[in-house]
Amino acid sequence: MAGERMKNALRGTSRQLSVSVVSVSVVLPAYNEEAIIERTVLHVAEVLAALVDDFEIIVTNDGSRDRTGAVLAASAAKYSDLPLRVVTHERNQGYGAALASGFDAARKDLIFFTDGDKQFDVGEIAHFLPELDDQTDLVIGWRRNRADPPIRLFNAWGWKQRVKQVAR
């Protein structure tokens, strides 16, 4: 089960947690994700439940034109014990605005974000947590050995360079 893998991943790290992880907010920006958003939310909940006791999942529905909003509302009703909150943009405002709205809504000690389409494995949070200490404000991860087209690789490289500049 994924939850057991997460516990093992966290236990198997060479560094012990230097801070007490009290609570985590996961922000998922979503645009036209009706086909996958419920599975994404459930996967995030499973991973977080294996790692921390207190968490919330915030999905920013960024003006989706499909049934993403309806699926999220149905999921919130169906899984009423799930700490799921939905922030809704009536019209698409873009990825950055969706993240900002999710960050504004976050109430927990730490904020983790990833895409709502399961493009990235939220289980990677188990590798980020051991990097936290009292002096760390930000932990960033990216994929190695990307099999993307050259233009996408260039874009990723540029983004990584910009983040390095800002994070200094």
Closest by CA position to 26, among listed 1, 8, 49? 49
Domain extents in the chain: 2-137, 143-168
At residue 5, the pLDDT reads: 41
Return the bridge partners of 59, or none. 28, 86
**Of the candidates 58, 73, 74, 62, the residue with the CA atom closest to the CA atom of residue 33:** 62
Of 34-38, 154-158, 163-167, minimum mean pLDDT range: 163-167
Of all residues in the chain, the percent with pLDDT exceeding 70 is 82
Q: What is the predicted pLDDT for the residue at 45?
A: 95
pLDDT at 134 over 70: yes
Residues near 23 by beta carbon (within 8 Å), at least 6 away in sequence: 52, 53, 54, 55, 56, 108, 109, 110
Nearest CA-CA partner of 42 in 63, 72, 68: 72
Tell me the average pLDDT across 25-31. 95
Containing 5, the helix (H) or strand (E) segment is helix 2-11
Mean pLDDT of 113-142: 76
pLDDT at 12: 42
pLDDT tens, 78-94?
999 999 999 999 999 99
> CA geometry: angle at 111 spanning 138 and 159, to 5°?
50
Name 56's bridge partners: 25
Token pair of 124, please? Answer: 């990677």
Short-list 106, 82, 144, 139, CA closest to 26: 106
- Number of neighbouring beta carbons within 10 Å of residue 102: 24
For the domain bounded by 2-137, which CATH number is listed?
A: 3.90.550.10
Q: Could you write out the DSSP letters of every residue in 92-104?
A: ---HHHHHHHHHH
Mean pLDDT computed over 54-63: 96
pLDDT band per the 50, 70, 90 thresholds, residue 106: very high
Question: Is the pLDDT assigned to residue 18 strictly greater than 50?
Answer: no
